[in-house]
Each structure stands twice: as structure tokens, then as C-alpha cells.
């Protein structure tokens, strides 16, 4: 893997007030953008009933609704690759601002869309179109945000910057869960179906557009500005250079994306439903425990990133993967006999999932600056499309064999994280 010349990296210096402003605005925008992307799933049942024919079988309606949700994931690789291409050639800031605009506007429109009863089949078609645009936006946002913050701060603070940004993204999931809970608490089911389901989308759209305004105050990264000044930008299609010269970095980044995506999908997104369906824990308790786990996950991301700066990503991944293996194994195996330990064990497991905070640290350093955005975006989005989509199906299939399926799957992830960590230690990184 080609390393970036030190002359094109940020010089060693303390974090400044400007750095903290950049990190805060980037993390806030990332949280709101992830909220916009994830809020759909919390209202999938209501949206399905409103946007599809009333005589459609319930299972088919739900499948169609989640199919529209999945379309956002399928659009990620293409959107991410295209936006990364222009990010490497035209600038990080332009794509960073465009991605949040492409997320906020469709979210706002979704909150205003007429239903099937009003415009027939155009309702689900327009809904699908909005999800595709959202997917393209999130495909550019996450890699773009990691590159943006890492190129603003000194090299010795790369992990802290990426970990803070990742914490912002996970906070967006928590925000979506809290808003959904609030809406369902304040309004009756009839009111939610009538009009209240629109409120979270309208809020997300308005706050997203406000984030677009806030990002006007961000500056182009010093690394990209220096490459422009030196005329050191990629001379060919950035992705072509990535695929030809940086295959090892691609494999490494895709394995780490598997750890990141599947860790969040299994422990954070799937587990609340499993707590209710398999262990008969109340929705209220399972969602409260889940919220606590997300808070600890966010703190864990910042901690892992900071530790990667100090001790290297290899050590963090080795120790973090072993810790996640121990805590997740204990958590899932205690559920049948010790449901009273749900909150502390889920919280500690969430904290250990925070090992993913070291993932972007490795990925941004794996690719040289001229093709960094394209290399990271290609690896991340292709891997996320594969593993983000396959993980729920694999875990669900394994549940037919054993209720401990989530524990087994997370154990495989921890093995991947451990092996990558040992590889990085061997390379002294």
C-alpha cells in the first residue's frame, strides 16, 4: 500500500479552535444525515399501509416497503463512487456539502408526498426515487466525512477526528429512535397514520437544510488545497488508479467495513427485535437498553479513535475485538437465564462495538491523498452493500438452528478484527 508523502499531510501541531469547529459541524451534519436515512425504517409499517394498495397482502406490503428501504443501500456504491470521483478532482468540501443537500431535500419531500389513496401507483414510485437519491447521498457522506475531518486535523489526531465523526453517525441512529418513540407516545396510532408520521421526515429535511447552511462555514481541507496548488491531483480516473495500484488497501478496508457494518447491524439494529421476539422482553425495556447501548457505542468510537492515535490501530483492533468477543458472548448467553442483567451487559457490549471507531483511521491512511476519497468510498460502499445486506439474512437463517446465532456471527466478526489487528501490528501500524 502506497503511503502518503508526509509533505502533503497536515503538519504536527495541537488541535485548534478551528479544528474543533470543523469536527463539531461535521459530526452534527453526519448525525442529522444518518437520522434522515434511518428514520424511514422506524415508520416502515405505517408508510407501507399508506403508499401501497389497501388490498395488498400484509406480507407483500411489508416486503415492498423494506424493498424500498433496501434500495437506498443498493444505491450507495454508485453514488459514493461518483461523488468520490469528483471529490478527488474538484474538492472535498463541494461533495461534502452536496451529499447532505441530496439527503435533506428528499427527506423533506418524503414528508410531503401524497399517498396511494391520492395519486395511486405514483406514490410508491416517488417514494422509491427519494430513497435512491438518499442512498446515493449517504454513499458519499460517510467516506467523504472521514476524509474531510482527517485532512483537516494534524496527522497525530486522525483517529480522534474519525472516531468523533463516527460517533456522530451512530448518534443519528439514536436520534431517529428517540424521535420515533416520541411521536408514538404523543400521538395515537390513528393520528400517526393520518398525519403525524410526516413530522419526523419534515424535521429531518428542515434540519438537514440547516446543516447545508452550516457547512458553508467549513473550509476546503489543507491537504486537497496543497495538492491543487502543486498540481498533484490524480492525472487519470482516480478509481482506475485505486483498482490497479491499491488492491491490498481495498481488501483491508473491505474487511474492516464488514466489522463496522455487521457490528452495528447485529448488535444495534437487529438485537432489539430479537429481545422482543425470542426472549419476550418488553418493547419499552428493549428500546431503552438499546438507546443506552448506542450512547456507550458513541463514546467507544471516540475512545477507540483516540487510542489508535496513541498506540496504533493494530493494538486497538486486537484488544477491542477480544473485548467485544467476551462481552457479546456473555450478553447473548445471559439473556435466557439473567434478563435482569440486560441493561449493564448490553451497555458494555455497545461500548465494545465502539472498536469500529478505529476503522476509518486505518482506511484513510491506507490510500494516498490524490485517490483517498475514491479508494475509501469504493471499498466502504461495495463492502457495505454486500455485508450490510447479507448480514440480516445470514443471522436470521442461523436463528433457525440456534437462538445464539447473533453471538456466533459477532464472534466471526471479532476473529476478522483480531486478524486484521495482528496484520497491522506486524506492519507496525
Q: Single out the residue in 233, 255, 283 at which a domain terminates.
A: 233
Whether 364 maps to a domain, the answer reads yes
Pair 85, 170 in one domain: yes
pTM of full prediction above 0.75: yes
pLDDT over threshold 80, residue 70: no
Pair 206, 251 in one domain: no
Dump pLDDT digits (tens) for 207-253: 888 888 887 777 767 766 776 666 555 556 777 888 888 999 999 99
Pair 210, 246 in one domain: no
Pair 33, 164 in one domain: yes
Pair 204, 329 in one domain: no
Pair 197, 313 in one domain: no
| pLDDT score, position 6 | 38
Whether 215 maps to a domain, the answer reads yes
Percent of the chain whose predicted confidence (pLDDT) is above 70: 92
Whether 2 maps to a domain, the answer reads no
Mean pLDDT, rounded, for 100-124: 91
**Domain count for the chain:** 2
For every residue of the chain, which 3-state class applies, written as one string? Answer: CCCCCHHHCCCCCCCCHHHHHHHHHHHHHHHHHHHHHHHHHHCHHHHHHHHCCCCCCHHHHHHHHHHHHHHHHHCHHHHHHHHHHHHHHCCHHHHHHHHHHHHHHHHHHHCCCCCHHHHCCHHHHHHHHHHHHHHHHHHHHHHHHHHHHHCCCCHHHHHHHHHHHHHHHHHHHHHHHHHHHHHHHHCCHHHHHHHHCHHHHHHHHHHHHHHHHHHHHCCCCHHHHHHHHHCCCCCCCHHHHHHHHCHHHHHHHHHHHHHHHHHHHHHHHHHHHHHHHCCCCCHHHHHHHHHHHHHHHHHHHHHHHHHHHHHCHHHHHHHHHHHHHHHHHHHHHHCCCCHHHHHHHHHHHHHHHHHHHHHHHHHHHHCCHHHHHHHHHHHHHHHHHHHHHHHHHHHHHHHCCCCCHHHHHHHHHHHHHHHHHHHHHHCCC
Whether 5 maps to a domain, the answer reads no
Pair 81, 123 in one domain: yes
| pLDDT score, position 312 | 94
- Which is higher by pLDDT, 173 or 350? 350
Pair 225, 248 in one domain: no
Task: List the single range of 123-127, 272-276, 330-334 with lowest mean pLDDT.
Answer: 272-276
Domain residues for 277? 238-429
What confidence tier does 4 reach under pLDDT thresholds 50, 70, 90? very low
CATH code where residue 220 lies = 1.20.1250.20
Pair 141, 128 in one domain: yes
Pair 332, 350 in one domain: yes
pLDDT over threshold 70, residue 310: yes
Whether 9 maps to a domain, the answer reads no
Dump pLDDT digits (tens) for 393-424: 888 888 889 999 999 999 999 999 999 999 99
pLDDT over threshold 60, residue 75: yes
Task: List the single range of 232-236, 301-305, 369-373, 387-391 with lowest mean pLDDT.
Answer: 232-236
Q: Single out the residue in 202, 233, 264 at which a domain terminates.
A: 233
Whether 3 maps to a domain, the answer reads no
Q: Average pLDDT, whole number, for the chain?
A: 86
Pair 174, 93 in one domain: yes
Q: Single out the residue in 233, 258, 279 at which a domain terminates.
A: 233
Pair 257, 385 in one domain: yes
Whether 8 maps to a domain, the answer reads no
Whether 4 maps to a domain, the answer reads no
Amino acid at each position: 500500500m502506497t503511503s502518503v508523502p508526509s509533505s502533503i499531510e497536515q503538519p504536527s501541531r495541537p488541535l485548534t479552535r478551528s479544528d474543533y469547529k470543523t469536527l463539531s459541524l461535521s459530526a452534527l451534519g453526519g448525525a442529522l444525515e444518518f437520522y434522515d436515512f434511518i428514520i424511514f425504517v422506524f415508520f416502515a409499517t405505517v408508510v407501507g399501509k399508506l403508499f401501497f394498495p389497501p388490498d395488498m397482502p400484509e406480507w407483500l406490503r411489508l416486503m415492498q416497503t423494506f424493498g424500498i428501504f433496501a434500495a437506498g443501500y443498493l444505491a450507495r456504491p454508485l453514488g459514493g463512487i461518483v461523488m468520490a470521483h469528483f471529490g478527488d478532482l474538484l474538492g472535498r468540501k463541494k461533495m461534502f456539502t452536496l451529499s447532505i443537500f441530496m439527503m435533506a431535500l428528499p427527506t423533506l419531500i418524503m414528508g410531503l408526498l401524497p399517498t396511494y389513496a391520492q395519486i395511486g401507483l405514483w406514490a410508491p414510485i416517488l417514494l422509491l426515487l427519494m430513497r435512491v437519491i438518499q442512498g446515493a447521498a449517504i454513499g458519499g457522506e460517510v467516506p467523504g466525512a472521514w476524509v474531510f475531518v482527517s485532512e483537516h486535523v494534524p496527522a497525530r489526531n486522525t483517529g480522534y477526528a474519525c472516531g468523533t465523526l463516527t460517533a456522530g453517525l451512530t448518534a443519528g441512529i439514536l436520534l431517529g429512535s428517540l424521535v420515533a418513540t416520541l411521536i408514538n407516545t404523543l400521538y395515537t396510532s390513528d393520528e400517526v397514520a393520518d398525519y403525524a408520521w410526516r413530522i419526523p421526515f419534515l424535521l429531518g429535511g428542515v434540519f438537514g437544510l440547516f446543516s447545508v447552511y452550516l457547512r458553508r462555514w467549513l473550509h476546503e481541507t489543507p491537504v486537497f488545497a496543497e495538492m491543487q496548488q502543486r498540481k498533484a491531483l490524480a492525472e487519470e480516473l482516480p478509481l482506475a488508479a485505486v483498482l490497479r495500484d491499491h488492491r491490498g488497501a481495498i481488501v483491508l478496508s473491505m474487511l474492516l467495513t464488514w466489522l463496522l457494518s455487521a457490528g452495528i447491524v447485529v448488535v444495534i439494529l437487529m438485537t432489539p427485535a430479537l429481545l422482543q421476539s425470542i426472549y419476550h422482553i418488553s418493547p419499552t425495556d428493549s428500546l431503552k437498553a438499546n438507546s443506552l447501548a448506542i450512547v456507550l457505542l458513541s463514546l467507544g468510537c471516540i475512545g477507540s479513535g483516540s487510542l489508535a492515535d496513541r498506540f496504533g490501530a493494530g493494538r486497538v483492533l486486537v484488544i477491542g475485538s477480544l473485548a467485544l468477543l467476551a462481552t457479546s458472548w456473555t450478553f447473548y448467553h445471559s439473556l435466557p437465564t439473567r434478563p435482569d442483567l440486560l441493561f449493564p451487559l448490553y451497555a458494555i457490549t455497545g461500548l465494545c462495538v465502539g472498536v469500529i471507531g478505529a476503522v476509518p483511521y486505518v482506511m484513510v491512511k491506507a490510500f494516498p491523498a490524490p485517490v483517498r476519497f475514491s479508494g475509501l468510498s469504493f471499498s466502504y460502499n461495495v463492502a457495505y452493500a454486500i455485508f450490510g445486506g447479507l448480514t440480516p439474512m445470514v443471522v436470521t437463517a442461523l436463528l433457525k438452528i440456534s437462538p445464539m446465532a447473533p453471538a456466533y456471527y459477532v464472534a466471526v466478526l471479532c476473529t476478522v478484527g483480531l486478524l486484521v489487528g495482528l496484520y497491522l501490528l506486524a506492519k507496525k501500524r
